[in-house]
Amino acid sequence: MPTAILHIGTEKTGTSSLQAFFKENRAQLKAKGFHYPRFAGMMNHTALAAYAAADAVRDDLRIDLGVEDAASLSTFRAELERRAAAEIAAHAGQVHLYSNEHCSSRLTTTDEVERLRSFLARHYDDIRIAVYLRRQDQVAVSLYSTLLKFGGDRTEILPDPKLRPGYWNYDTLLTLWADVFGRDAIVPRIFDRAELNEGSVVRDFCATWGLGGGYADVANANESLQPVAGEVLRRLNTAFPGYVDGDLNRMRGELGARFGALFPGRGPRPARAEAEAFLDRFAASNEAVRAAWFPDRAQLFTVEFAGYPATADARSVSFDEAIEVVTALWHETQSTEIGLRYQIALKDGQIAELEGDPETARAAYHRALRIDPGRAAARKRLDALSLAPPRAVLPEPPSPERQTVTPLPPRPWRKRLSLNGLRRAFGRPPHEPS
């Protein structure tokens, strides 16, 4: 049975960059004897945490995967087991890599971690756990931008650790996973740019687990928000929270993702004294981790706070700054909408061409050019139609008494090409050719 390496985070330790590296280098990894499975997610293996979480959990991971109730959860688990068995068998003989930071943040009980171990143990007799640990105050500061992207409106940068005690206690985390998978299976590393191999979590993981080199580079994912943009988003979140009545807020759409793409940068920082006090709350558990897992270190983390200001970063927003943010957001939103409307008109024209209706096709392509004159595809189709020979005149049909009606063959391309479903998703009626 093959070996599996399961990377469980923790959160805010370069997991997005590492997962992007795995995804973009699947072919290169395969050539070196490693496989990054697809059945649990193309980039982030979120299905692992969704599978193993307690039955009563209903969070964004499960909602995104279509799990709404007990029946759909049972179906989801059975389907994941089926797909896992097929893909793992197809790549036998390779070391399989998995990565999902939610495994460390959301699987908090022995039963949940054991459910994940049982799932993997059907296929692997050697399962290793890779985990990176980052200083808690740095995690909290980075998490604040994530909170805003997902609809939170908390004003304090540093949270109350009592609300999620297990999340911040690395001693509890490592003990839980060691009890289920065995101590020798757990390989913790310190996430500190000064200590990582070449300052990169990707390089560090490759060196630690023998993946070698020669891979395509991926850009480091900057998940923090500039302070002004973050404050604008925080206020918008009061109108468009992440959840409404316990369900995802559909009206929110891609608001957080748009802010993340438009305004990346260093997020707001608390005052130095606040950060010191926050880290001090975990002194005992960090020392327990050092003694148990890093006995050669004098301390678990380098304790240095020069990166924090004496007073917290200002987050007030002027009217002009807010207008700049909203202007950039509206420009991006409109650009996306124009692109979608153009594609709808273009597909309508292609469908009309396939149906042998050039006039309707021309009307659709002209509509596409009115939506976005700068794109070439619709113009090329119009030029092609102008060069096409005229349609042949068909013979008169037989008289009604002798006419035989033959059913038309099915047209599977219609469902694939039509974007009326996309129109409905945007709350628009299906297109009727003019």
User: Binning pLDDT at 50, 70 and 90, where does residue 411 land?
Assistant: very low
Distances (CA, A) of 209 to 29, 203, 323: 12, 10, 48
pLDDT (0 to 100) of residue 398: 59
% of the chain with per-residue pLDDT over 70: 89
For residue range 259-274, list pLDDT tens digits in order.
999 999 999 999 999 9
Backbone φ and ψ for 359, nearest 5 degrees, come out as -65, -45
pTM of the model: 0.81
pLDDT (0 to 100) of residue 397: 58
User: Binning pLDDT at 50, 70 and 90, where does residue 220 land?
Assistant: confident
Of 177, 203, 190, 171, residue with least CA distance to 133 = 190
Q: Please state the rounded mean pLDDT for residues 103-127.
A: 97
pLDDT at 403 over 70: no
Q: Please state the rounded mean pLDDT for residues 405-429.
A: 50
Q: Please state the rounded mean pLDDT for residues 372-400.
A: 77
pLDDT (0 to 100) of residue 312: 95
Residues 6+ apart with CB under 8 A from 356: 391
For residue range 146-180, list pLDDT tens digits in order.
999 999 999 999 999 999 999 999 999 999 999 99
pLDDT (0 to 100) of residue 225: 93
Do β-strands 126-133 and 186-190 pair in parallel, antiparallel, or remain unpaired?
Answer: parallel
pLDDT (0 to 100) of residue 137: 98
Residues 6+ apart with CB under 8 A from 308: 269, 270, 271, 272, 275
pLDDT at 401 over 80: no
For residue range 32-50, list pLDDT tens digits in order.
999 999 999 999 999 999 9
pLDDT (0 to 100) of residue 415: 41
pLDDT (0 to 100) of residue 405: 47
